[in-house]
Amino acid sequence: MSEQEGYSPSFKRPADILRICRKRTRSEGVGAAGRVAGSSPGVSVPGVRPFSPGPLFGSPSQSGGVKRRNPFANIENTHSKPKRRGAMSVRGDADHTERKPVCEAGEDGPSAPVPLGEPLTQAERADQKLSAAQKPLSLKHGDSVFDDLFSDEGRPSAAYPSDNAPAGNEATPPGDYPADWSLKTRLLIMSPFTFSWAEHLKAQEEAQGLTHSCRAIHCSLPAPIQEPRTSVELRCAFQQCLVYWQHPSLSWLPLFPRIGAEKKLSGKSMPWLQDEALQQSLMNDWSQSVTSLYSLVRTRLCPFFYLCTYQFTVLFRAAGMSGTDGITAVLSPSTLGLREAMRAEGIEFTLPLLEEKKKTEDHGKCEQTEEPYTEVKEQSEAEDDKDDDDDDASFSWLKEMGVQDQINKPDSVSIKLRKEHREVQLDRRPQSMVLVKGTDTFTLLNFFINYKGLVAASGVQAGLPPTLLAPVAFRGATLQTLKARSVTVKTQVQNGYQDTFSLEVSGPVMPHTLHGLSQLLRIAQRGRFSVGLYTHEPTAVLNTSLGSPRMDTQQEKLAQELEACGLALSTVQQLTEPARLGRSVLRHLDMDDYSYSWMT
């Protein structure tokens, strides 16, 4: 390796450096120092580069046959810098008590060596040898990049989750992981074991999986499966996990996602664009479907459903889902026009993220001024009332000066726009998320049926009703299945190549689908797999917590009332837990030795 072009002999591996340091601790300091002091210019000196720019000026070895000196090099940097050579010495050179620099070059040739500092006594030299021998050489914290990659036990810390796991790679109990209410567009599952059990389902297995999905039958799988490929129950359960219900369903149009889908829908055939009667017929069918879905959610026969428009997404959840006591609807993102229209219809709603931000700011002010939070809140309300009074009498001073007729006063529309400036800034942002609770959700449903802004008036999505997605059947729904495709690739390792197995699932992946697939993978892949989740970003804020956690007894009661919602009991238990992700979403889910770890 030293004979290769461009190789630097001064480079040493960490293991070689440690071996050299151990040898130096056993050697004699006086002998080593003597060798340094008595070395000739032609002999290699420790701490000095072996490739010098050229011979010393005035040295007898300088002749015409020697390679000329590099004109860009400074001879003082190579032969007359004892401090630099001392800094380049390897840690652990404690037994070299008398370091002497190489002779400095002068006009008359090399001068006598100059010692560095006062020489140590024999007793001090013996003490340094003893301390160096008793203390073994080791790499300290911060001396190596390997300290960041390995824990105290020498194992990668990211692969073994613990209670003190860093933020972004939190470990959950072996039971389950937090529910993610955002919609996923794709799942990429990786495992060291094959996915042959998910390939080429037989007609009988596919039919049985569809039948179980329609009848809400969930069969328990045996924990140890010796051969997953021949397990009929596992393959039927996999087909059942891929099923979802959608309205409307047009085979030549991709109706999810709807936000930012102009490129995917451009150039597609849309016969209803110029036919108002056809558009009205589509809206009538859609109204019946969404009404049927709401009735199922209200009676807890459907746990949730999504309403996806070209501008926003609405998540309707039954009572008990995500730690709530009643039916809820979460809308994101919203605009000022939509919120004003909802207020005009008498729909009461809140902006949880905005209120949380204001509460945090008020709490910070309260800590700075050391005043109770109630006093700060009352003070802020008084300031708001004062601002309103100032707006009404903001131009009274013009009359006192006698120039009220010379100044153009802003009209009421301008004043109103100025007041609404803060609210306009929230449009189409995560902070504009709207929460509707209780009976107001029914009013919201009627509002959507009659709201003209629900359907695009122009563009490629003009006249196309919103997409409804649900885990159970409803009126006018079409049974759809997610697309699954398994791939085997070769990955390079130290000794050659090894097979890596992957399974890709694409389509509108809802929370119950992710949980059902993870339960199957836990058994089929022997507790070792990882999932990469690709989120539909406008739905990321749907993980926001909507209230305080309930008591355990109340939670169990609501979970029992949702047993007939069409989902497995384990999935219902996960979805009834209060939201824990906040505004973040699951980006990566990993199982190792039947224990979950996740990253946001």
pLDDT of residue 101: 41
Residue 204 has pLDDT above 90, yes or no: yes
- Band (257; pLDDT cuts 50, 70, 90): very high
518 is a domain residue: no
- Band (420; pLDDT cuts 50, 70, 90): low
Model confidence, pTM? 0.65
Residue 193 has pLDDT above 70, yes or no: yes
Asked if 9 and 2 touch (Cβ cutoff 8 Å), the reply is yes
pLDDT tens for each residue of 268-306: 999 999 899 999 999 999 999 999 999 999 999 999 999
pLDDT tens for each residue of 485-536: 999 888 777 888 888 899 999 999 999 999 999 999 999 999 999 999 999 9
31 is a domain residue: yes
pLDDT of residue 44: 47
Mean pLDDT of all residues in 238-252 = 96
Cα torsion angle, 366, 369, 370, 376, sign: negative
- Band (413; pLDDT cuts 50, 70, 90): low
Q: In which domain, by residue range, is 45 found?
A: 14-134
pLDDT of residue 80: 45
Question: Per DSSP, what are the bridge partners of residue 106?
Answer: 109
Higher per-residue confidence, 78 vs 111 = 78
Q: What is the DSSP string of 16-65?
A: HHHHHHHHHHHS-HHHHHHHHHT--TTS--TTS-SS-SSPPTT-TT--TT
48 is a domain residue: yes
- Residue 544 DSSP class: -
pLDDT of residue 153: 36
Mean pLDDT of all residues in 145-161 = 34
Euclidean distance between the first and the last CA atom of the chain, given in angstroms as a whole number: 45
- Band (22; pLDDT cuts 50, 70, 90): confident
In a 10 Å sphere around its CB, with 0-12 CB exposed, 13-18 middle and 19+ buried, how is residue 372 labelled? exposed
pLDDT of residue 575: 93
Mean pLDDT of all residues in 337-342 = 93
Residue 142 has pLDDT above 70, yes or no: no
pLDDT of residue 558: 74
332 is a domain residue: no
pLDDT of residue 414: 65
Which residues 6+ apart lie within 8 Å of 278 measured at CB? 271, 272, 463
- pLDDT above 90 as % of the chain: 45
- Band (98; pLDDT cuts 50, 70, 90): very low
Asked if 249 and 478 touch (Cβ cutoff 8 Å), the reply is yes
pLDDT of residue 33: 45
- Band (124; pLDDT cuts 50, 70, 90): low
pLDDT tens for each residue of 351-384: 998 877 676 665 555 555 544 444 434 444 444 5
pLDDT of residue 222: 80
Q: What is the mean pLDDT of the chain?
A: 75
Higher per-residue confidence, 226 vs 468 = 468
- Band (71; pLDDT cuts 50, 70, 90): low
pLDDT of residue 211: 95
Between the CA of residue 574 and those of 315, 321, 533, 567, 568, what are the distances in Å?
A: 17, 9, 18, 11, 10
Mean pLDDT of all residues in 180-185 = 96
pLDDT of residue 25: 76
Residue 162 has pLDDT above 80, yes or no: no
Residue 480 has pLDDT above 90, yes or no: yes
Asked if 481 and 456 touch (Cβ cutoff 8 Å), the reply is no
Mean pLDDT of all residues in 163-168 = 36
pLDDT tens for each residue of 382-409: 445 545 555 555 566 666 776 666 666 6
Per-residue HEC secondary structure of 259-286 comes to CCCHHHHCCCCCCCCCCHHHHHHHHHHH
37 is a domain residue: yes
Cα torsion angle, 442, 447, 453, 456, sign: positive
540 is a domain residue: no
Higher per-residue confidence, 495 vs 209 = 209
pLDDT of residue 125: 54
pLDDT tens for each residue of 298-330: 999 999 999 999 999 999 999 999 988 899 999
The amino acid sitting at 290 is V
Q: How many domains does the chain have?
A: 1
222 is a domain residue: no
3-class DSSP assignment, residue 109: strand
491 is a domain residue: no
In a 10 Å sphere around its CB, with 0-12 CB exposed, 13-18 middle and 19+ buried, how is residue 312 labelled? buried
Question: Which one of 123-127, 180-184, 364-368, 545-549 scores highest in mean pLDDT?
Answer: 180-184
Higher per-residue confidence, 379 vs 552 = 552
